[in-house]
Amino acid sequence: MDETVVIHGTGMDASQFNQMGTTGAGLVWSPFSNLVLYGDTTDVVAADNAGITISIAPDWGPSGTKNNLHELKVADMWNREILQNHFSDYELAEMVTSNPAEISNWEAFVGQLKTDMYADIVVIDTFHENPYRNLIEAIDPDVRLTIVHGKPVFGDIDLMSAMKGDDWEYINGSGFSKAIDVTSTSDVDGMQTWDEIESGLSMAMRNDFDDIKANWDDVEGMTDSEIEDWLGSNFDGDYRDNVNRLSTVGLDPIYTIGDDRFFDVVNRSGHANYHIDMTELYDYYDVQYNSDGNRAFVEDSNYTVPVDEPDPVEGCTDSTATNYNANADTDDGSCVFDNGADNPDNNATGGDTCVGICDEDVSDQAESDGSDPVFVLTIVMVIIFLAAISVIIVSKDNDDSQEVDKEEMTDAFIPELPPLEPPKD
């Protein structure tokens, strides 16, 4: 069905993708996890040729990346080295923005910067002329600001301070710091700070009996033996038998940059490096920042900044017309000349009207009408009559407007504000 979203699809062939394409089903591509686990990834070219909307997202924690920025880099490497740049930078950017919104039927709410949509926004520092290349190559320090549903939740300290005051916490990385605010009064346990959440996860990774007994709500009021029985039934093996070695790993760092263990595991993976050299991933992160925290700007010789061409202006392009439009690009046939005619070169149909002595090519009737004293006098009388009526009307309008002004001074009309509705549910 068109509501179907296939995650991975690594075992599917072109005919199956064609079946998906005919129904409008979507595909989620997780290239990093596929390569680490299987040494290969989804045939996304076949999926694209079948008309399937493709989005990119990390797989689960043990074999996935930390965020879409890193997953984009794996997709970019695969696209460049294996797919011969089948996808453009713009299409890769769509796979982490508008495409996920489309296949989840959320395109009316998120995925684009448009009026009346939820303000889910990420602001990336500029170091590439190509904005889509800028997104693909961005790493943790390059994320200037993240806004979810209009609320600033992560970003540079100066921006978060300007928007949140002191309502944020430090979240430190390797040689850089950001600000984060995860608290929310509208959620259950929403006032947990980032430090509390991180500490709780670190404690869980240690799998320490005393920590579990003291801090886990599920074991409140239980005896030590009951806790041991509960742990044995809820975990794979005895929690004390050293089978669970997560305590030696520790909590995974929040940032990819500086996570040496992550890159070491990837570089030593035979599966991951079967088709491409995964050590090149670190090239995306081997970036030098200056004292201001910015990296050098890169001019992209193969990229041309798109310029929105304005719509052509239509109007009269004849400079002899009374309604000549100097800004018009194309003539729309609306030209009007002194006598209201459309063709100034044709005197018989209303070119330059002859008054008094006429050229030889002007009709006798025009000459006689223009030189007839009775005709001229009639025109003058009509003009005087119209002018008199106009003076009377203007005088009356002035009197009426003064009365209206007095009323407005005593009872001014104030329009109501437009309705301010909350975002759609």
Q: What is the pLDDT of residues 159-169, one digit of tens each?
A: 999 999 999 99
Q: What per-residue confidence (pLDDT) applies to 422?
A: 54
CA distance 329 to 312: 6
Q: What per-residue confidence (pLDDT) applies to 423?
A: 56
Mean pLDDT of 194-222: 78
Does the pLDDT of residue 108 top 80, yes or no?
yes
Tell me, what DSSP letter sits at residue 4?
-
- 1-28 in b/e form (b: 16+ CB < 10 A) is eeeeebebbbebeeebbeebbeeebbbb
**HSE-CB of 295 using CA atoms within 13 angstroms:** 20
Does the pLDDT of residue 303 top 90, yes or no?
no
SS (H, E, C) 317-378: CCCCCCCECCCCCEECCCCCCCCCCCCCCCHHHCCCCCCCCCCCCCCHHHHHHHHCHHHHHH
* Residue 338 pLDDT level (bands cut at 50, 70, 90): confident
CA distance 88 to 341: 55
pLDDT in tens, 180-202: 999 988 888 899 999 999 998 88
Does the pLDDT of residue 265 top 60, yes or no?
yes
289 forms beta bridges with 295
Instruction: Give the residue, 185 or 9, on which the prediction is more confident.
Output: 9
The answer, as to whether pTM is greater than 0.85, is no
Mean pLDDT of 370-390: 72
Q: What per-residue confidence (pLDDT) applies to 379?
A: 78
- By CB atoms closer than 10 A (0-12, 13-18, 19+), residue 175 is exposed
Q: What per-residue confidence (pLDDT) applies to 368?
A: 46
Does the pLDDT of residue 366 top 60, yes or no?
no
Does the pLDDT of residue 138 top 90, yes or no?
yes
On average, the pLDDT of the chain sits at 82
> Rg of the Cα trace of the chain?
37
* Residue 357 pLDDT level (bands cut at 50, 70, 90): very low
What is the β-pairing status of strands 177-180 and 169-172?
antiparallel
Q: What per-residue confidence (pLDDT) applies to 203?
A: 83
CA distance 331 to 325: 9
Mean pLDDT of 89-116: 95
* Residue 304 pLDDT level (bands cut at 50, 70, 90): confident
Instruction: Give the residue, 257 or 307, on which the prediction is more confident.
Output: 257
Q: What per-residue confidence (pLDDT) applies to 249?
A: 72
Does the pLDDT of residue 349 top 50, yes or no?
no
Mean pLDDT of 174-178: 92
In 3D space, the residue among 3, 5, 78 whose CA is nearest the CA of residue 36 turns out to be 78
Instruction: Give the residue, 318 or 112, on which the prediction is more confident.
Output: 112
Range with lowest mean pLDDT among 8-22, 205-219, 368-382: 368-382
Q: What per-residue confidence (pLDDT) applies to 403?
A: 56
